[in-house]
């Protein structure tokens, strides 16, 4: 649904038609400008607008459109509803040395997660490990952006978060859990790092948003309708259905992971579990960094990680498979392809972004 009604804004409709012919393939720079100028117009300081824009476009580049530029209208709506302060910075509530409790102050979730990971890394240098919890935090986007920050310090990074209830438990028929994503990044010596970033549900809700805007049906095994019946109709989800936990016939595994993350990222942070009537909205976040040098020789550790990666990649393939990809490799390949060929933005999303830009008085001709 568009934030602005074109029928009630005829001048806006004419302006939109003028620029609509430029879609749907855009460069990294064009999409950065879209997000940056939009957020800056709404009061975001340069650093905040730049970071959020870069991370949204990064998600598009690596193939996760669900966490990319499609989120701009959602963030704009929260800014206008006073649910997101674009100029807010984090506040350290408790400092336990190797632990921190952080108030995200309802700013951009990306700013809260990035700033917190920076502080966490500094603590891990001293203590070997630091785990931080964030509450009052808006949507943080793609978790791998933060778990990867410690890699440059020869550290292992990890992030998990909960959020609004979207997922049914294994055997259930109502929304009780968030897709509750988890990301772990591990440094290597000569190989690219291992970067795992997964939801504990079959699919993240953002991917359903993308499917809906592209008017596509769903694969079997993704969602249930509001009565708990399997469905491939995208509208069944948005009319009260739920996402299934990761694992299919063994979905109790994804459900179990979501349950644990709901406790750690939800209850422990003070955000609340996803289906709680007292849930604070946004994301409850747990993130951490482990300094490899506090456990063993860094080069020896990285060399052994290299050996593991090569052993997995070089192992015998099952019929129908010609390669085994390490977590992080699909994203790296897609980033190279989209950097070369451009980023596809679905027509509905692009029109919505143009509407926002024109309404805010931005010269969208360079978009």
What is the arithmetic mean of pLDDT over 353-357? 96
* Distances in whole angstroms, Cα of residue 148 to Cα of each of 44, 98, 142, 156, 204: 25, 19, 11, 8, 20
* Whether 25 contacts 347, CB under 8 Å: no
Residue 178, C-beta contacts closer than 8 angstroms, at least 6 positions apart = 161, 162, 163, 164, 165, 166, 167, 258, 261, 262, 274
> Residue 366: its pLDDT value, please?
83
Structure tokens at 45: 């300081």
What is the arithmetic mean of pLDDT over 142-149? 98
* Whether 254 contacts 221, CB under 8 Å: no
Question: Beta partners for 289?
Answer: 130, 157
> Residue 271: its pLDDT value, please?
98
* Whether 39 contacts 48, CB under 8 Å: yes
DSSP per-residue letters across 83-106: S--TT---EEEEE-SSEEEEE-TT
Question: Roughly what angle, to the nearest 10 degrees, separates helices 72-80 and 347-359?
Answer: 40
Classify domain 91-202+244-299 at the CATH topology level: Ribosomal Protein S8; Chain: A, domain 1 (3.30.1370)
Chain centroid, CA 65 distance in Å = 10
Q: Is the pLDDT of residue 16 over 50?
A: no
Higher pLDDT, 5 or 175: 175
Task: Determine how many CB atoms are found less than 10 A away from the CB of residue 139.
Answer: 21
CA distance linking residue 179 with residue 257, whole number of Å: 10
CATH number of 10-84+336-366: 1.10.1530.10
> Residue 1: its pLDDT value, please?
30
Domain with CATH 1.10.1530.10 in the chain: 10-84+336-366
Pick from 265, 266, 275: which is nearest to 176 by CA? Answer: 275
**SS3 track for 283-352:** CEEEEEEEEHHHCCCHHHHHHHHHHHHHHHHCCCCCCCCCCCCCCCHHHHHHHHHHHHHCEECCHHHHHH
Query: What size, in residues, is the chain?
Result: 367
Task: Determine how many CB atoms are found less than 10 A away from the CB of residue 28.
Answer: 17
Q: Is the pLDDT of residue 2 over 60?
A: no
Three-class SS state of 11: helix
> Residue 18: its pLDDT value, please?
47
> Residue 5: its pLDDT value, please?
39
User: Is the peptide bond prior to 126 cis by the omega test (within 30 degrees of 0)?
Assistant: no
Domain with CATH 3.30.1370.60 in the chain: 91-202+244-299
Q: Is the pLDDT of residue 181 over 90?
A: yes
Task: Determine how many CB atoms are found less than 10 A away from the CB of residue 107.
Answer: 23
> Residue 24: its pLDDT value, please?
81
> Residue 217: its pLDDT value, please?
86
Give kind and range of the element (H or E) at residue 132. Answer: strand 129-135
Give per-residue pLDDT as tens, 274-285. 999 999 999 999
> Residue 20: its pLDDT value, please?
45
CA distance linking residue 192 with residue 197, whole number of Å: 15
Is pTM beyond 0.85? Reply is yes
Q: What is the mean pLDDT of the chain?
A: 93
Give per-residue pLDDT as tens, 79-110. 999 999 999 999 999 999 999 999 999 999 99
- Alpha-carbon dihedral sign for residues 296, 302, 305, 311: negative
DSSP per-residue letters across 166-207: -BPPTT--S--B----EEEEE--SSSPPEEEEE-SBSS-HHH
């Amino acid at each position: 649904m568009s934030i602005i009604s074109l029928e009630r804004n005829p001048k806006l409709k004419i302006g939109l038609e003028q620029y609509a012919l430029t879609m749907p393939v855009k460069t990294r720079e064009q999409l950065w400008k879209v997000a940056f100028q939009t957020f800056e117009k709404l009061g975001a300081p340069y650093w905040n607008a730049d970071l959020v824009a870069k991370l949204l476009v990064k998600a598009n580049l690596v193939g996760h459109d669900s966490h990319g530029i499609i989120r701009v209208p959602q963030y704009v709506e929260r800014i206008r509803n006073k649910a997101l302060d674009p100029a807010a910075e984090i506040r350290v509530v408790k400092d336990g040395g190797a632990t921190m409790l952080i108030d995200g102050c309802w700013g951009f979730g990306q700013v809260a997660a990035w700033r917190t990971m920076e502080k966490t890394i500094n603590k891990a240098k001293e203590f070997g490990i630091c785990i931080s919890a964030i509450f009052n935090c808006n949507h943080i986007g793609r978790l791998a952006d933060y778990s990867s920050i410690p890699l440059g310090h020869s550290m292992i990074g990890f992030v998990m978060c909960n959020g609004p209830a979207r997922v049914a438990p294994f055997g259930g028929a109502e929304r009780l859990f968030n897709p509750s994503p988890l990301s772990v990044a591990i440094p290597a010596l000569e190989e690219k790092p291992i970067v795992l970033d997964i939801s504990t549900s079959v699919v993240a809700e953002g991917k359903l948003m993308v499917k809906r805007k592209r008017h596509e049906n769903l694969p079997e095994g993704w969602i249930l309708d509001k009565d708990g019946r399997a469905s491939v109709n995208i509208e069944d989800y948005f009319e009260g259905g739920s996402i299934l936990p990761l694992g299919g016939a063994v979905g109790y595994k994804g459900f179990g992971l979501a349950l644990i993350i709901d406790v750690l990222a939800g209850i422990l942070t003070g955000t609340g579990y996803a289906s709680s009537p007292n849930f604070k909205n946004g994301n409850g976040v747990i993130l951490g960094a482990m300094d490899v040098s506090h456990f063993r020789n860094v080069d020896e550790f990285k060399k052994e990680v290299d050996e593991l990666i090569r052993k997995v990649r070089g192992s015998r393939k099952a019929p129908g498979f010609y390669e085994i990809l390490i977590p992080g490799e699909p994203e790296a390949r897609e980033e190279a392809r989209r950097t070369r060929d451009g980023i596809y933005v679905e027509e509905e999303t692009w029109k919505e972004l143009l509407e926002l830009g024109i309404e805010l008085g931005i010269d969208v001709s360079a978009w």
